[in-house]
Amino acid sequence: MAIGETIRNSQIWKSIFRHPMPLDRRNRIVVMLTNFFLHLHPVSIKKQGIALSFTWCMGGVTFFLFLVETVTGVLLMFYYRPTLEWAYNDILALRDVTSLGILRELHRWGAHAMVITTWLHMYRVFLTGSYKPPREFNWVIGVILLLLTLLLSFTGYLLPWDQLAIWAITVGSNMARATPLLGYEGPGQQLLTIGGLDMITDGSDARFGLLGARFVGEETLNRFYVLHCIAIPLAVALLLAIHFWRVRKDGGISGPL
Amino acid sequence: MHSNELFLKDVAGFLGGYYAAIAIMNGIAALILWQRKHQPVWAVIWTTFACVMMVLGSLALSGSEATVPSLPESVRNLVNTLSGPVNYTVGTTVLLVGFFVYRKFFVQPMVAWSLFNVALLLMGLSMADQNFALIVMKADNVPIVGLVFLLAFFTWVATKQAVVNDERMLRGEPPIEKVNDEKVLVWPDLVYTELICMIAVTAFLLAWAILLPAPLEEPASSVKTPNPSKAPWYFLGLQEMLVYFDPWYAGVVLPSLVIFGLMALPYIDFNKKGNGYYTIAERKFAYLTFQFGFLELWITLIILGTFLRGPNWNFFGPFEYWSPYKVEVLNNVDLPQMFWIGLFDRPLPLAAADSPWYVQIGTILLREAPGLILVGAYLVLLPPLMAVTIFRRYYAKMGLIRYMVMANLMLLMLSLPLKMILRWTVNLKYIVSIPEISLNF
């Protein structure tokens, strides 16, 4: 006890937490206002707004899974090399040799879980009509986040570089080949010619832009790796910040008027 | 037969644990019902059920063909014969409609609990089938099994509250969420809930990661195409649509429309009621449209694409061996052929190769006239027609632009089930087929 008291009275502790323990009403309010991580929340909230039967906690779980994916993902990046020579072998070693290779399981199952919890979160938001005014635009941001979540999962799917990976990505990205006007097997691409020269070929169409090559190869692995580890997470982080900010600004968690 | 014995030895441990888990779950349920809810009859029923599950569990642990509980061969064969894309789609639709219409009955806790147990029992019995287990236990398919149970659970949670609220509002009382609107401090009430949630998710994820290794197949080879080649599971609904549409529509246009439609949703739904609480009665149209798109078109197609589509994307029953040699007769016909050849017994209009461009285009338009007129009528004539008939009230409230966006999104969404029905009934392949510009619809 005495040690705890000494620590809480030290200059270091007081420089971090500028108020006493949140044990009484006043300090429970102060803690929400002075802590960076807690200030995302309001100070007080309607009781029904935090009832699990109402929120299912799925938005929170999705965000938590995003954090889990970030942490496990960064650790996996220390180990994994996105090249044809090493990609598969590194994953193999994570399974068979490396201690803490379970990070890959956590990352993969966390990713699947994140897709599912995103859907469940949206399902809840729809069923409670929480997308209705004034929260319309936050729903739109949410839909973009859904798309980015699927793209995160899709780009990550390629990285183990096994049969499952490249053929799933091949099947998925073959769709881009059929983009109207912009895919070289898509409707109307025949119309885009200049002086008899096709503008849309298998080396210049939407699929090529996605894969960086005519088929799923090393360029694709590199491209998907960068998208998966940097570009999409950054976009998600930005949109998440807006999403959470808007939840507060649009009147907090929804409820009957 | 020999391989089946080996398989049963393999799954014996899992099945034993599985039945034991169901038994424990029902034991706890019985305890709660007896002590807290004072429903001794139900407590006895679920205790008995738990005992039966324990017996099944010990039988399963034996791992021998004679004793592992499983569905009789005849039942499995019957299910295989009965299942096909048509019966599957019609069956799931009837099931979902039934759940919706009789929702007051199905949301009762004991009814839902019984259904849940029946589902778990059927799952356990099916898992003793080699073909079924092979697909369902494939590492990347496990999340979908989880998804199905989670969706069922949360749909029940939501519907139960909606039923209660709808009854309250019928009596002129506010929804239950309104009653509970005193304010509490976020610390400790919410922060602790969040902490517990985080710990629970972490524990769950760790258990999942320890129990189920992530899949890793052979090294990638661009010359060895697996059969079937499947996209990641969350895109399999889209891949299933490829059966009915060309990739440009099923793989590019329809997914874009799903995203666009979801974004447009809050701007189309002008109904001010049902904001912030569970209700069905106050927003029946929005509710049914969303559920049709989500549960029927998105989720059931993912389940179909994952568990029931095998080599060459052929349909396989849940207990059927995925043979790559299964042949399905494909005798689908395009609408122009039905029209010109079938109806008028004359060849398709064809322009001579050296005719000028306007003759060529004119001939193509003539050839495709029946399809183009049909599609045109569907997309151009139907929206205004509906605006003055079934959607008159909506049109008046929404105004032209919002109404047109809503009507077109609805019609495009319905293009999928319509095409499915046309394929199944008259073997229609394409309504419009202009290979000259790779446009097939």
Give me the interface pTM, i.e. the ipTM: 0.95
**Mean pLDDT along residues A133-153:** 97
Nearest chain B Cα distance for residue A141, angstroms: 8
**A8 vs A230 pLDDT, higher one:** A230
User: What's the rounded Cα separation, in Å, for the pair A35 and B187?
Assistant: 12
User: What's the rounded Cα separation, in Å, for the pair B130 and B120?
Assistant: 18
DSSP bridge pairs for A45 = B184
Lookup result for tokens 């490829």: B242
State the span(s) of chain A assigned CATH 1.20.810.10.
Answer: 45-249
Chain B interface, mutation test: which of A46, A63, A171, most B Cβ atoms within 10 Å? A171
Measured in whole angstroms, the distance separating CA A118 from the mean position of its chain's CA atoms is 10
Please report the DSSP string for B154-210 in residue order: HHHHHHHHHHHHHHHHHTTPPPHHHHT--EEEHHHHHHHHHHHHHHHHHHHHHHHHH
Q: Strand, coil or helix: what is B153?
A: helix
pLDDT of residue B297: 94
A contact residues 149-168, partner B, Cβ 8 Å cutoff: 150, 153-154, 157, 160-168
Measured over the CA atoms of residue B341, residue B344, residue B346 and residue B347, the dihedral's sign is negative
User: What's the rounded Cα separation, in Å, for the pair A44 and A48?
Assistant: 12
Nearest chain B Cα distance for residue A208, angstroms: 15
Chain B interface, mutation test: which of A114, A116, A127, A248, most B Cβ atoms within 10 Å? A127
Q: Angle at which helices A102-127 and A58-79 pack, to 10 degrees?
A: 160
Collect all residues of chain B within an 8 Å Cβ-Cβ radius of residue A139: 262-263, 265-266
Nearest chain B Cα distance for residue A174, angstroms: 8
Q: CB–CB of B205 and A113 under 8 A?
A: yes
Nearest chain A Cα distance for residue B342, angstroms: 27
Q: Angle at which helices A136-158 and A102-127 pack, to 10 degrees?
A: 160
Collect all residues of chain A within an 8 Å Cβ-Cβ radius of residue B177: 48, 54, 255-256
Chain B CB within 8 Å of residue A241 CB: no
User: What's the rounded Cα separation, in Å, for the pair B239 and B50?
Assistant: 41
Which two three-digit tokens encode residue A53? 């039967």
Collect all residues of chain A within an 8 Å Cβ-Cβ radius of residue B247: 174-175, 177-178, 185
Q: Which residues of B244-256 are buried (b: 16+ CB within 10 A; e: fewer)?
A: bbbbbbbbbbbbe
Q: Strand, coil or helix: what is B13?
A: helix
Nearest chain A Cα distance for residue B68, angstroms: 30
- Residue B420 host element (H or E): helix B400-426
pLDDT of residue B179: 87
Q: Strand, coil or helix: what is A238?
A: helix
Q: Which residues of A146-160 are buried (b: 16+ CB within 10 A; e: fewer)?
A: bbbbbbbbbbbbbbb
Nearest chain A Cα distance for residue B308, angstroms: 17
pLDDT of A106 strictly over 90? yes
Q: Angle at which helices B400-426 and B85-101 pack, to 10 degrees?
A: 130
Which two three-digit tokens encode residue A239? 């949109």
Residue B64 backbone phi and psi in degrees, to 5: -110, 150
Q: CB–CB of A116 and B154 under 8 A?
A: no
Q: What single-letter amino acid sits at B441?
A: F
Q: Give me Rg for the CA atoms of chain A.
A: 24
Q: CB–CB of B213 and A190 under 8 A?
A: no
- Residue A13 host element (H or E): helix A11-16
Q: How far is CA B101 from CA A72, B97, B356, in A?
A: 45, 6, 60
CATH superfamily of A45-249: Cytochrome Bc1 Complex; Chain C (1.20.810.10)
Query: In terms of C-beta density within 10 A (0-12 exposed, 13-18 middle, 19 or more buried), how is residue A143 classed?
Result: buried
Dihedral, CA of residue A48, residue A50, residue A53 and residue A55, to nearest 10: 110
Which one of A56, A102, A255 has the shortest CB-CB distance to B181? A255
8 Å CB contact between B22 and B121? yes
Each of the 441 residues of chain B gets a pLDDT tens digit; together they read 468 888 998 899 999 999 999 999 999 999 999 999 899 999 999 999 999 999 999 999 988 888 899 999 999 999 999 999 999 999 999 999 999 999 999 999 999 999 999 999 999 999 999 999 999 999 999 999 999 999 999 999 999 999 999 999 999 999 999 887 789 999 889 999 999 999 999 999 999 999 999 999 999 998 899 999 999 999 999 999 999 999 999 999 999 999 999 999 999 999 999 999 999 999 999 999 999 999 999 999 999 999 999 999 999 999 999 999 988 877 888 998 888 888 888 888 888 888 888 998 999 999 999 999 999 999 999 999 999 999 999 999 999 999 999 999 999 999 999 999 999 999 999 999 888 888 888
DSSP code of B316? Answer: -
B contact residues 209-228, partner A, Cβ 8 Å cutoff: 209-210, 212-222, 224-226
Q: Strand, coil or helix: what is B37?
A: coil
User: What's the rounded Cα separation, in Å, for the pair B133 and B125?
Assistant: 10
Q: CB–CB of A187 and B269 under 8 A?
A: no
Question: Residues A43-72: pLDDT tens digits?
Answer: 999 988 889 999 999 999 999 999 999 999
User: What's the rounded Cα separation, in Å, for the pair B408 and B349?
Assistant: 32
User: What's the rounded Cα separation, in Å, for the pair A57 and B199?
Assistant: 13
Long-range contacts formed by B204-213: CB under 8 A, 24+ apart: B205/A68, B205/A106, B205/A109, B205/A110, B205/A113, B206/A106, B208/A105, B208/A109, B208/A113, B209/A102, B209/A105, B209/A106, B209/A109, B210/A102, B210/A105, B212/A105, B212/A109, B212/B139, B212/B142, B213/A95, B213/A105, B213/B139
How many other C-beta atoms lie within 10 A of the C-beta of residue B95? 11
Chain B, nearest residue to A135 by Cα: B266
